[in-house]
A and B are shown apart, each in its own frame.
Chain A
Amino acid sequence: MHNVWLIAKREYIERIRARSFMVMTVLIPTLMGGLLWGVGMTTGKSRTNVNIAIVTQDSQFGLDLQEELATHKHPQIGAKVISPPEAVTRAELEAEMNHKGLDGYLWVTPPAPGHASPTFEWKPKSKNYLNTQNELGESIRTVLTKEGLAKSGLGSADVNLLMQPIDLDATDASKKDAASAAQASAFGLFFIMYFVIVFYGMNVARSIIEEKTSRIFEVLLATIKPEEMMAGKVLGVGAVGLTQVAIWLVAAAALSVPGLISLGSDISFNLPASLMIYFVVFFLLGYILYSGLAAALGAMTSSEQELQQMNIFLMLPLIACSGVVYNVISDPDGMIAKVFSFIPFCAPLIMYVRIAMHRPPWWEIALSLTGLVVTVLAILWIAARIYRVGVLMYGKKPNLPELIRWLRYS
């Protein structure tokens, strides 16, 4: 056990220290975060307080619009009314926009003779005020409607009554929201699991090949058993994967705390504890299954190129999983979902998604887990044997009868 620990520790420390780990850990969330932030910037979602000026001849219209804008929250628009404008007003506003906190101004030109409504000119500081522009347009329409209604003889109380927002029964809609959030988080975790299993499973194979080509195996095998080596390697590399996922999840949680960093206000990250436990269990089993396979592949081949050719065996079930995952999410109790969640090579991903979407009966979970555990044990047994013979074998790739003979070597 001590040797397994030593191997795992070395593997872990060397990998964590490697520059590529840092790059991966930082780069991937940065890219994703950057993407979200970029989207937020262009849609103007991130702005919460906007200051504008309303320039109009009609001071009553200005005040009405100001009042209307004040009722809006996304973004909160504070407006000052300049009425009537003077010759220098436009220049002053431009200067204010450049140097002070003014985000834009609305210039209302009275209707030309023969036209019913005035023209509105909206000049924002930059292009990133799409939301403000939408709110502004809506508010202007509301104010104009109210004015029109008042002109046609309705009392202001009646007008306000007419313009009252309608109460929609929104419970169904919010249920749908919750469902799509569950979908999103099931998706997100599916891909994290998928990515880590593929990436770190491949890492196990690659590191075995590296040790094979650098011939360090013989030194190690002179003191420790091949089984210990394989176990140490799988555990060490797996721990690196877990560390990375943990860093990401903690970062995601931190980002979604409102107010800490404003960009994440729409991305909520909440995962029930039971789902978290299922995630960890399926993740670990899936990882061990695939890294055991990868270890056997690594031991059988002796160069990276050969490994690439064998990769397909590793990737095939995973690709199948990502092919059906949409189907499983939309119909978690359908035939496809059921079949795939009982295939041990797909169970870690598909069963987890089913549990996340809509908890299946306990016996289905138990059956899937049992099949998975049995398969993991079988794979580890086979992999250890292939490993034991394969790591000292250089050159020619073994064929199937040879592999079977390897399994019989003690």
Chain B
Amino acid sequence: MAGVWIFAENQEQSLELLNIGTDLAAQLETKLVSLLYYNHEMAQDHINHGADEVLLLPPLKGDQLLDAYIPTIISEAQKEEPDIFLLAGTIRGKEIAARIASGLETGLCSECIGLSLDQETGLVEMDRLVYGGAGVQKVVCSKRPQMATIPARTFEAVAEQGARQGQIRELLTPPQAPVKILERRPKDRKSQDIREARVVIGVGRGIEKQEDMVLAQQLAEVLGGEIGCTRPISEEMHWLSEDLCIGLSGISVKPELYIGVGISGQIQHVTGIRDAKVICAVNSDENAPIFEVADYGIVGNLYEVVPQLIKELKK
């Protein structure tokens, strides 16, 4: 038995994993299997996007978490023995991936940002960031399945391949898990937008007072962007919500333009902006590490530079 398995929490992420999955399955001359729970009607759609087989996970009762699927997925994987198992690196996905890997006695590459098949060994070489983003660790997994969690938007969505034939099979209903959801509190939309924003202004401790945040806001407005921040701004100062904290332990942004205002450039934060197309920085310390990772940096007092920028950009 063999195969490349994918599991995601929504269609967008499934399509991203189907992309890399199609590629790996073709190289290994094996089948691509999509595990689907969120909408069973998408099964044929997954097949049309490259899946050879769709395993349907039965719907869960309202108070159940994804964790309930763990025993079902483990026992199916023990039967089918996939070569590779990729899961979307969401909060829930990371937790169940670790538990599944433990149950299957195999290795898991967390937050894998790139992977490729070594033609000689047939092993998947997987890259991930370590030491707060300062290093890239390349790992291989000696057991099967070779597992990885993959952050959203690491790969593009796969293109539809037209009507294809594939198998659809329903898995057994999992037993009731002891963990229960008592309440779901959806977040207001505002804070989610920053990950999609075309321009992001990052705010750091160079901003002296909460009132001065208005400078960054005005700069964001004139550029049609959103504001994010470093961890001290959200965690210590509470000037912005935790959801706007950019960095390894916060969110990652991939805007066309990022401007760091009063940001020193600690690696933790920089990791969250590494995929920005253009990085700019305004900082009064010409030796601030942010300048080493910026395309364009202005050395100067942000209280003088930012108003000038706003004025010029308004023209």
B and A form one assembly: no
